[in-house]
Amino acid sequence: MGRFQEKKKMKCVICHGEDIQVNEVHEELKVGSNVVYVSVNALVCQTCGERYYDRRAMRYLEEAEQKLREGKAKLQEIGKVLVYS
């Protein structure tokens, strides 16, 4: 068979679907009472929506969370969330 084997297609661990593609997703991070959306590329199952993050994406999200906690992140307000009581 040689040194190289054919790469197997990834299957979703949730629905066992095989249609997994790279998509830009918005991960939600909470900072106090605020919610910050961080855009990152991830593998996403097109059947059930399960997300798979590689090391680079996880590192990026961890760095973003650290900057948010330290108050060092540049944020853009794009709307408001209002609560009716």
Is 5 a residue whose pLDDT tops 60? no
19, 35, 36, 48, 72 from 61: Cα distances, Å: 25, 14, 11, 22, 14
Q: What is the pLDDT of residue 43?
A: 96
DSSP string, 34-58: EEEEEEEEEEEETTT--EE--HHHH
Contacts of 30 (CB under 8 A, 6+ apart): 36
Over residues 8-15, mean pLDDT: 89
* pLDDT value at residue 66: 95
C-alpha dihedral sign at 12, 13, 14, 17: positive
Domain extent listing, the chain: 20-70
Q: What value does the mean pLDDT take over residues 5-17?
A: 82
Confidence of residue 2 (pLDDT cuts 50, 70, 90): low
Q: What is the pLDDT of residues 35-85, one digit of tens each?
A: 899 999 999 999 999 999 999 999 999 999 999 999 998 888 888 877 788
pLDDT at 26: 94
